[in-house]
A and B are shown apart, each in its own frame.
Chain A
Amino acid sequence: MIALEFDGVCLRYGSNVTLADGSFRVGQGKFIGLLGPNGAGKTTLFRAVLGLLRPSSGSIRVFGQPTRRGNAHIGYVPQFGKQLNQLSLSGRDLLIGSVTGSRYGWPFSTAAQREDIDRVLEVTGAGDLARRPMGTLSGGERQRILIAQALLGSPKMLLLDEPLVSLDPNRQESVVSLVRDIQQDLDMTVLFCSHELTPLLGKIDGVLFLGQRKVALGPVEEVITPKVLSDLYGAPMDVVRSAGRVFVVAGGPSPAA
């Protein structure tokens, strides 16, 4: 089954075209790393999948359906906002607030909603963290709460926008592993956005690379190559592998390669 399908999609951020005539298909149950340089339009692509941004041409389908705002099949972890940095609210209260806050009117949570919160906190192992004020948690701990939040309502697809930013390598590793485990246990489709490939290596089923208005989807070894990347960027690019890490650098292949 196809979880996400882009067919000739053109996306704009303001007056900038970030994707021109992009087509790809992500199968159900895949863990895909969404990569690309800063400003390539990764967040814009997520917003289009969430139905917050209409493509200027082409069509996007999520589990065979056109995109729509408030799609319950998609869980979303936005880029980390400053609002949560000094929050004295506990993680659990934040989750209750987001469940009851998705609708107007009756302001109290139901027993079923509280059960769902218990479930997602257990899945992410964040039960104890959720009792502490958000402002006292480390970056990695907060990310765990936000991932739990995205799992509320049992979505089938998870979009994570730069969850590794400003985490040290060990924390990065544990966040990626957490998402991988959840993805496997719950058979979810995951798009994990990062501007670095290294923390995702060995965990992802494929990479969706967003370059200069172009996009390519495939296994790491097929997409992260000088030829494909040079085509995406419209300029000579090279891939340097060193001790299990992969770097994408500007310039043609070195003579030794």
Chain B
Amino acid sequence: MLQYDFMVNAFAATFIVAVVAGSIGYFMVLRGQTFAGHAMSHVGFAGATGAVLIGLSPLTGLTFFTLLAGLGIGLMGERAQSRDIAIGIVLSLSLGLGLLFLHFYTSFAGQATALLFGNVLGVARDTLWIMLVMGALALVILAVIARPLTFASLQPELAEAKGISPKILGTIFMMLVALAVAESVQVVGVLLVFSLMVAPPATAMLLARRISTGIALAVLFALAQAWIGLVLAYYTNWPTTFWITLLGAVAYLAANGVVHLTQNMR
């Protein structure tokens, strides 16, 4: 299977995405901002289709729009009431816009499916390099803000009293989520970023007691999901994304079972 270039590219792409999505997704779940991440990918859909329409690469439009959405959501702040409603309305508007852009660009029918559900087998070598740079940048920034971010996520009032600005921190973090979303879309598509950014961290959170262990497990689960998914897709010829979502759900259910059993035995 590794004699094919596209398979090698796919394994490399999913590796980058798993590390980025697993670690950033962990904080997203910890902060209860999963819906914001989900919505951001939909905004990215409008960006990607719009970019294709004016002759740019989908990844450029996608990244630009998710970053813009991240900035917007971050500046809205944690406490804005009806924030989820505002996000939800922007989400559906973006999907609608994306549909309109596709309508004008009729010659690219396959593009829609690839964007919505991912097409990891179609990742080109030069896209891979862009993903590597974006991912490394996101991880370096995350490493610098990780500790204050954890503190501000768990005890926002106290962190604020200690001189940390939850709003600035939250906005920076939302931009990181935007980068992770743009990367994840390359593998699982706009509609299914949850399968890499939420399922593995949520599973890890059930099993790990410490944050460092949790992040490590989240990355490990995301990677296992993606790589086993690729292998299964290769042998069954079914879509990779299907296998990734299935493995994510199975892992989460299994972890819940393990937690339930160990609690009952105590």
Contacts and interface: CB of A to CB of B under 8 A. Distances in A.
Given A83-B153, A98-B155, A104-B148, A88 B208 contact: yes
Interface in B148-178: 148-164
A81 interface: yes
Interface stretch (A19-27, A89-97, A233-241): A89-97
A81 B151 CA distance: 13
A52 B160 contact: yes
Interface residues of B, number: 27
A87 interface: yes
A78 interface: yes
A76 B164 CA distance: 14
A102 B148 contact: yes
Interface of A: 50, 52, 69-70, 74, 76, 78-79, 81, 83-84, 87-90, 93-94, 97-98, 100-105, 107, 133, 149
A88 B164 CA distance: 24
A197 B148 CA distance: 36
B208 A98 contact: no
Secondary structure of the B side of the interface? helix
Nearest to A43: B157
A101 B159 contact: yes
Contacts of B155: 78, 81, 83-84, 94, 98
Interface stretch (B11-19, B37-45, B138-146, B182-190): B138-146
A189 to B, nearest CB: 16
A101 B155 CA distance: 11
A12 to B, nearest CB: 17
Contacts of A94: 154-155
A133 B210 CA distance: 10
A133 B209 contact: yes
B129 to A, nearest CB: 29
Contact of B147 (A78, A101, A133): A101
Contacts of A79: 157
Given A93-B211, A97-B211, A104-B144, A87 B162 contact: no
Interface string B206-218: 0011110000000
B154 A102 contact: no
A97 B150 contact: yes
A98 B158 contact: yes
Which residue of B144, B159, B162, B164 has the most chain A CB atoms within 10 A of its CB atom?
Answer: B162
B209 A102 contact: no
B205 interface: yes
A98 B145 CA distance: 13
A110 B143 CA distance: 18
Contact of B163 (A69, A78, A83, A149): A69
Nearest to A153: B162
A89 B151 contact: no
B162 A70 contact: yes
Nearest first, the 9 closest Cβ-Cβ pairs linking A and B are A70-B163, A101-B151, A78-B157, A101-B147, A102-B162, A100-B147, A50-B161, A76-B161, A107-B147
B154 A97 contact: yes
Given A97-B211, A103-B148, A107-B147, A81 B157 contact: yes
A161 to B, nearest CB: 8
Contacts of B154: 81, 83-84, 87, 89, 94, 97
B209 A88 contact: yes
Which residue of B143, B158, B159 has the most chain A CB atoms within 10 A of its CB atom?
Answer: B158
B164 A102 contact: yes
A53 to B, nearest CB: 11
A98 B211 contact: no
Given A89-B210, A90-B209, A107-B143, A101 B161 contact: no
B175 to A, nearest CB: 16
Given A88-B205, A104-B145, A52 B210 contact: no
A81 B156 contact: yes
A81 B162 CA distance: 17
A97 B160 CA distance: 14
A117 to B, nearest CB: 14
Contact of A52 (B145, B147, B161): B161
Nearest to A105: B144
Interface string B200-236: 0000010011110000000000000000000000000
A97 B147 contact: yes
Nearest to B146: A107
Contacts of B211: 89, 93, 97
